[in-house]
Chains A and B, each alone.
Chain A
Amino acid sequence: MFAYRTMVLAVPAAMAETGLAMLGEAPRTVVIDRDGLQALLEALGARGYTLIAPTVRDGAIVYDEVEAVDDLPAGVTEVQGPGSYRLSKRDDAALFGYAVGPHSWKKYLFRPETVLFRARLDPDGGFVSSRADDGVAPRYAFLGVRACEIAAIDIQDQVFLRGSYRDPDYGSRRDGAFVIAVQCGEPGGTCFCVSMHTGPRAESGFDLALTELIDAQRHELLVEVGSERGEQILGDVPSRPALPGDLSAARAVTDDAASRMGRTLEADGLPQRLAEVLEHPQWDDVASRCLACTNCTLVCPTCFCSSVEDTTDLTGTEATRTRKWDSCFTLGHSYIHGGSIRASTRDRYRQWLTHKLSTWVDQFGTSGCVGCGRCITWCPVGIDLTAEVRALLTPAGASEVLP
């Protein structure tokens, strides 16, 4: 059986540098209230971080720059299902009472569009090329990073930073990022992090982790310290020590979330089992529904495919190469002179799903899926990856039981 998430639990390089290992004993925990959270945001701002957090825009919870706690989606939750997403009001004023929307932190670390370099022709006929940004990357503080998303960031770290070649743009953004996790209390209808062993509780990979404790009597946040950098910033935030009751209440939040997952995926042995059904008729079935629209790959927090585009200015003396997100659902993705290898939607859906859940493990040691459910929610025809996997693991010809 494959150990799905063992890599995630390893302390990322950036974390090790900030001195988590130096802390020694169990992570310190404190409790803050809403004002304390505001103080935390201000402390991050004062240290030069650009603050990114969930906020409501165009009928969805997205990630964007925020300034204050008031910008967070208070009292809002999501109703998610295959091909459907809408916001609804909560009975309380919880700040993090939802799962994940269409955005992921990928858009800040592995940007949808990145100028890789600009080159200028020399008078002598040569050219000089240089990276567009010369290494000056923004320093982000991410607030509200879910356990599945920490796993996703770690997966992209594996792709872009831990291979033979390091992606400089991703690396400079990743190194500076301050991660404030939020432990999940409200799983979405398409969530299956429990199956993928990525959540709902984040154990590492954060500077600070918040668990929202809200009921009729109180609205507080338990704060776990994950790094020295996190510890330092807490010095600027009014807090009280956490009591045993706070800890058990926080644990109950994620235990409850774990028991209410919207979806499940039988992940044990999945890589090998999928590798054995590459000619299953279910691929034709799903291809008859799939629009190859690329939505699933764009909302996926781990999908990393990109293509480059070369342009020149009007004089032809300056050339720019831009990297853009690509998707294995496009015909051009597998193009070699003369045609595309993956000519049909069947080929491309199979590539996407088997890469995510099977060959990713061979390549990187972990699954490429963190169970966030975005590909299910944002599929315009509601294709449910977990249902497809169940059908694929049903021997061809046997009757299938789909939800």
Chain B
Amino acid sequence: MAEDPVAEPMLPRPYRVLEVKAETADVTTLVVAPIAERPIIDAPTDPRPGQFNMLWVFGVGEVPISLSGLRADGTLVHTVRSVGAVTDALSHLAVGGVVGVRGPFGTGWGVESAAGNDVVVVGGGIGLAPLKPVVEQLLENRDDYGHINVLVGARTPGDIVFTDNLEQWSRLGAGIDVEITVDAAGPGWHGHVGVVTDLVARAQVDASRTVAFVCGPEVMMRFATRALREQGVPLDRIRLSAERNMQCAVAHCGHCQLGDVFVCREGPVLDAARLLPLLGVRGR
């Protein structure tokens, strides 16, 4: 048989944990580097924002986690929210610990395709994780893009991730607006209170030249998309990141199907024009 470019997609490769950063009480960022000689499985392309890796904790299990940062040196950055056995085990890894990695898989956000346009980035909760490398890519190629709106929602001030980055971006001044809102404020919070869709409704958006990247819980993405549409942004210029049960990540296991879409292969990033009708069929 002809040699396939990805002959062993199911074999995790060992990576060492280089850095651990507690983002919030239940969100952790891990920076990992390959142990073996092969930095990453024979992936067809370099990692892109919006793609994900399967992270495996020895003997516990495997979960899909999107890339929350891209580095040129082959290290991987992942931000994990502890919601189950595997993510909990990942969150408790210490520097020097080992994690298995398969990937990267899936489509990216297609940031480059927004060149020449304004960009609205809407992240809800941990949904900001796959969007962080989007903003970083925009800023690295600043001249290619127009105005940037970064709109962030979280449940409470303590649940906001990447606060350092957000602060740094907001200090850049002209050309980029960073707005953060929380559903429930506490003492000492002087920022917005309200849902992230309110930020979308209030944002200064030139709909004729805007591409939006949205990630968060499905409900939040639906409402954010509606707010963007009311601003005049067409559905095919709103990109969402779908979440389904991804196990094999190579369109073999069947779990992540959403209508005709294998979310692991055609997604996780999909145009709202494609994704919303699929989400509109309940229980699908």
6 further contact pairs, Cβ within 8 A, besides A167-B252, A336-B244: A125-B98, A159-B252, A166-B6, A305-B255, A307-B255, A334-B245
A344 within 8 A of B: yes
The CA of A396 and the CA of B36, in the complex, are separated in Å by: 60
- B252 and A341 contact, CB distance less than 8 A: no
The CA of A317 and the CA of B248, in the complex, are separated in Å by: 23
Could you say which residues of chain B place their CB within 8 Å of the CB of A351?
257, 284
In whole Å, how far is A160's beta carbon from the nearest beta carbon of chain B? 6
For A83-111 the 0/1 string (1 means CB < 8 A from B) is: 00000000000000000000000000000
- A319 and B58 contact, CB distance less than 8 A: yes
Could you say which residues of chain A place their CB within 8 Å of the CB of B7?
166, 168
In whole Å, how far is A229's beta carbon from the nearest beta carbon of chain B? 16
- B255 and A342 contact, CB distance less than 8 A: no
Could you say which residues of chain B place their CB within 8 Å of the CB of A346?
283
In whole Å, how far is B113's beta carbon from the nearest beta carbon of chain A? 21
- B253 and A344 contact, CB distance less than 8 A: no
- B283 and A343 contact, CB distance less than 8 A: yes
For B80-117 the 0/1 string (1 means CB < 8 A from A) is: 00011001000000001110100000000000000000
The CA of A321 and the CA of B35, in the complex, are separated in Å by: 21
Could you say which residues of chain B place their CB within 8 Å of the CB of A219?
none
The CA of A307 and the CA of B9, in the complex, are separated in Å by: 15
The CA of A328 and the CA of B62, in the complex, are separated in Å by: 20
A13 within 8 A of B: yes
Which residues 149-195 in A have Cβ within 8 Å of B in the complex?
Answer: 159-160, 163-168, 171, 175
A127 within 8 A of B: yes
In whole Å, how far is B278's beta carbon from the nearest beta carbon of chain A? 10
Q: How many chain B residues have a CB neighbour from A under 8 Å?
A: 47
The CA of A119 and the CA of B10, in the complex, are separated in Å by: 12
A400 within 8 A of B: no
Given A119-B100, A306-B253, verify A336-B245 contact (CB < 8 Å).
yes
- A278 and B284 contact, CB distance less than 8 A: yes
- B59 and A165 contact, CB distance less than 8 A: no
For A342-375 the 0/1 string (1 means CB < 8 A from B) is: 1110110011000100110011000000000000
The CA of A328 and the CA of B245, in the complex, are separated in Å by: 12
- B257 and A359 contact, CB distance less than 8 A: yes
In whole Å, how far is B20's beta carbon from the nearest beta carbon of chain A? 15
For B191-232 the 0/1 string (1 means CB < 8 A from A) is: 000000000000000000000000000000000000000000
- B245 and A306 contact, CB distance less than 8 A: no
- B9 and A165 contact, CB distance less than 8 A: yes
- B10 and A166 contact, CB distance less than 8 A: no
Of the candidates A278, A306, A335, the one whose C-beta lies within 8 Å of that of B254 is A306
- A126 and B59 contact, CB distance less than 8 A: no
Given A127-B58, A319-B58, verify A336-B243 contact (CB < 8 Å).
yes
Could you say which residues of chain B place their CB within 8 Å of the CB of A119?
12, 58, 100
A49 within 8 A of B: no
Could you say which residues of chain A place their CB within 8 Å of the CB of B83?
337-338
In whole Å, how far is A366's beta carbon from the nearest beta carbon of chain B? 13
Could you say which residues of chain A place their CB within 8 Å of the CB of B283?
341-344, 346-347, 350
Of the candidates A127, A362, A363, the one whose C-beta lies within 8 Å of that of B14 is A127
For B242-271 the 0/1 string (1 means CB < 8 A from A) is: 011101101111110101101001000000
The CA of A358 and the CA of B281, in the complex, are separated in Å by: 15
For B50-86 the 0/1 string (1 means CB < 8 A from A) is: 0000001011111000000000000000000001100
In whole Å, how far is A158's beta carbon from the nearest beta carbon of chain B? 11
Which residues 1-34 in B have Cβ within 8 Å of A in the complex?
Answer: 1, 4, 6-14, 16
Could you say which residues of chain B place their CB within 8 Å of the CB of A363?
260, 262
Minimal Cβ-Cβ distance residue in A for B99:
A127
20 A-B residue pairings within 8 Å (CB atoms): A116-B11, A117-B12, A125-B97, A127-B14, A127-B98, A129-B12, A131-B8, A159-B252, A165-B9, A166-B4, A171-B1, A305-B254, A307-B247, A308-B248, A312-B59, A326-B255, A328-B254, A337-B83, A341-B245, A342-B284
B187 within 8 A of A: no
Could you say which residues of chain B place their CB within 8 Å of the CB of A129?
11-14, 100
A333 within 8 A of B: yes
The CA of A131 and the CA of B11, in the complex, are separated in Å by: 8
Could you say which residues of chain A place their CB within 8 Å of the CB of B9?
165
In whole Å, how far is A269's beta carbon from the nearest beta carbon of chain B? 16
Could you say which residues of chain B place their CB within 8 Å of the CB of A358?
260
B186 within 8 A of A: no
- B59 and A311 contact, CB distance less than 8 A: yes
Could you say which residues of chain B place their CB within 8 Å of the CB of A397?
none
- B10 and A304 contact, CB distance less than 8 A: no
The CA of A353 and the CA of B7, in the complex, are separated in Å by: 32
Minimal Cβ-Cβ distance residue in B for A130:
B11
- B253 and A305 contact, CB distance less than 8 A: yes
- B59 and A310 contact, CB distance less than 8 A: yes
